[in-house]
Structure 1
Amino acid sequence: MSVLLEVKNLKKQFGGLVAVNGVDMRIAEGEVIGLLGPNGSGKTTVMNLISGALTATSGEVLLRGRPVQAMAAHLRAREGISRTFQLVRLAPSLSAGDNIILTLAFGRKPIWGRAARERAEQVLASVGLAGQGGATVQSLNYIDQKRLELARAIAPFPDLLLLDEWLAGLNPTELRTGIELIRSLERTGVTILLVEHIMEAVRELCPRAIVMSAGAVIADGPTAEVLADPQVVAAYLGDFEHA
């Protein structure tokens, strides 16, 4: 498999705080990788640096070998990077369908008008929200708002999907539904990097895991091996299992 995303010596500093310190990672096309670590380890900052929500202090973000670290977030979206957030971020004044249509205008292949509405209906159905295009955001329960955010992220046909604790806050039944949704995305060939604390989901979804501590990568490899690494077990696994 060819490398889709490469991060080289990535660093982000906020004043005297170094939130990300020399992170390197390579992600091949079609991989599903868990990005793990306790709160404050730098996981979400890395996601923000990849997506363009934050600008790196130094280092490189390469998509298909092309540097994108100087690009604004909307330009990275056009290159095929899409994401969800820790807290659901939807446009509350728009319907579910219009939330998706808005995103389609900024994808790699912008879609407008009737084609955009058809794509919105298609992607809503794929996440279990068939026929809900006219629903208001406020009328949707928590899992359905999560579904809508996922639909919005996948609608523009991204190559790289960043899921930041998308499964957080779900009850056991909803969690199972969420895992199956991510599995269905995997089958489409999209590359997925997911930040997650729920080890059940990580073990089931991610053949490979990367673990961060204090802004740096401390482990990277097959998930079972990484989760058995004494350094990871001692510092983080107990925290994950009770998260």
Structure 2
Amino acid sequence: MSVSLELRGLRKEFGGLVAVNDIDLAIPRGAVMGLLGPNGSGKTTVLNLISGALPLTSGEVLLNGQPVQHLAAHHRARLGIARTFQLVRLSRSLNARDNIALSLAFGRDALWGAAARERADAALATVGLPGRGNVDVGSLNYIDQKRLELARAIAAKPDILLLDEWLAGLNPTELRTGIELICALKEQGMTIILVEHIMEAIREICPRCVVMSAGMKIADGPTPDVLTDPQVVAAYLGDFEYA
């Protein structure tokens, strides 16, 4: 299986703080990987370095074998990298459809007008919001705002989808819906990196996990093995046991 995304010596320093410490990582095309670690371990920073939201200090980000670390975030988006954020980032002055259509102007297909609205409506249907294109963003509940942000990401038909705690804050029913939705995207062949703290979701969605602590990668392997690794338990899971 070919490598879709590769990180080589990925490093990010904020003054004297090393937030990401020389991470090496290769993710095959179509793989789904969980990126775990305690708060402040560097997970979101890694996603920011992949997407171009932050410049790296050193290292390489390769998409389909080509270095992209020198490219701005919108150029990486056009090459097939899309993401969601820990805190939902939507334009409340636009309706649901236009939130997506606006992003498509900067996506890999650069769509406008009727074509963008049609793509937006298809993405809304995919995430469980059919016929909701004219709805004001402010009238959507929390899970539907998260659905909308995910629709905006997948509308661009990305090769790489970065989900930053997308399941956080959901009640049990919403969580089940969210897990099923990510599993459906997984079946479509997207390469997905899932930053998450909810072990139920990680176990169900991610065959492979990488764990970070203090900016370093401390484990990488099959999810059941990683979650029972003593170093991972000490760094992240505390006294919890996952049989």
TM-score, scaled to structure 2: 0.97
Q: CA shift at 1:238, angstroms?
A: 2.8
Q: Deviations over 1:112-135 (max 9, x none)?
A: 221111111111011111111011
Q: Give the secondary-structure state (helix, strand or coil) at the position aligned to 1:221.
A: strand
Match of 2:179 in 1: 179
The alpha-carbon deviation at position 110 of structure 1 amounts to 1.4
The aligned residue for residue 117 of structure 1 is 117
Alignment of 1:143-162 (within 5 A): 143-162=143-162
Judge which range, 43-52 or 115-124, deviates more: 115-124
Which SS does the other structure have where 1:161 is aligned?
strand
Tell me if 1:25 matches 2:25.
yes
C-alpha deviation, 1:188, in angstroms: 0.9
After superposition, the C-alpha distances for 1:122-167 in whole angstroms (9 at most, x for unaligned) are: 1101111111101111000000000000000000000000000000
Q: What is the count of residue pairs matched by the alignment? A: 241
Residues 55-204 of structure 1 correspond to what in structure 2 (within 5 A)? 55-204=55-204
2:21–2:216 CA contact under 8 A, matched in 1: yes
Indicate the residue corresponding to 1:230 in structure 2. Answer: 230
Q: Which amino acid aligns with 2:124?
A: L
Counterpart amino acid of residue 42 in structure 1: G
Shift of 1:108: 1.1
Q: Tell whether the 8 Å contact from 1:203 to 1:224 is kept in structure 2 after alignment.
A: yes
The AA in structure 2 aligned to 1:223 is T
**What is the CA-CA distance between 1:239 and the residue it aligns to?**
7.5
Q: Secondary structure at the match of 1:193?
A: strand
Q: CA RMSD of the aligned region, Å?
A: 1.0
**What displacement does 1:203 show?**
0.3
Alpha-carbon spacing, 1:239–1:68, altered in 2? closer, same or farther (3 Å): farther
SS across alignment from 1:88:
coil
Give the counterpart letter for 1:71 in structure 2. L
Q: Which whole-Å CA distance do the structure 1 matches of 2:36 and 2:161 have between them?
A: 16
Give the SS at the match of 1:111.
coil
In structure 1, how many angstroms separate the alpha carbons of the residues matched to 2:2 and 2:169?
Answer: 34
In the aligned structure 1, how far is the partner of 2:240 from the partner of 2:66? Answer: 35
- CA separation in 2, counterparts of 1:18 and 1:85? 22
1:90 to 1:28, Cα distance in 2 relative to 1, 3 A: same
TM-score by length of 1: 0.97
1:45–1:5 CA distance, 2 compared to 1 (3 A): same
Alpha-carbon distance between aligned partners in 2 of 1:154 and 1:238, rounded to the nearest angstrom:
35
Shift of 1:106: 1.1
Is the CA contact 1:198–1:240 (under 8 Å) kept in the aligned structure 2?
A: no
Residue in structure 2 matched with residue 37 of structure 1 by the alignment: 37
What's the secondary structure of 1:209's corresponding residue? strand
Structure 1 CA distance, aligned partners of 2:198 and 2:230? 19
Gapped regions of structure 1 (runs ≥ 5):
none
Provide Cα deviations, 1:21-79, integer angstroms capped at 9, x if missing partner.
10110000000000000000000000000000000000000001111001000000000
Change (3 A) 1:15 1:142: same
Deviations 1:186-228 (A, max 9, x none): 1111110010000000000000000000001000000000011
SS at 2:238's partner residue?
helix
Contact 1:94 1:136 in 2 (8 A): yes
TM-superposed CA distance for 1:240, in Å, is: 7.8
- The amino acid across from 1:158 in the alignment is P
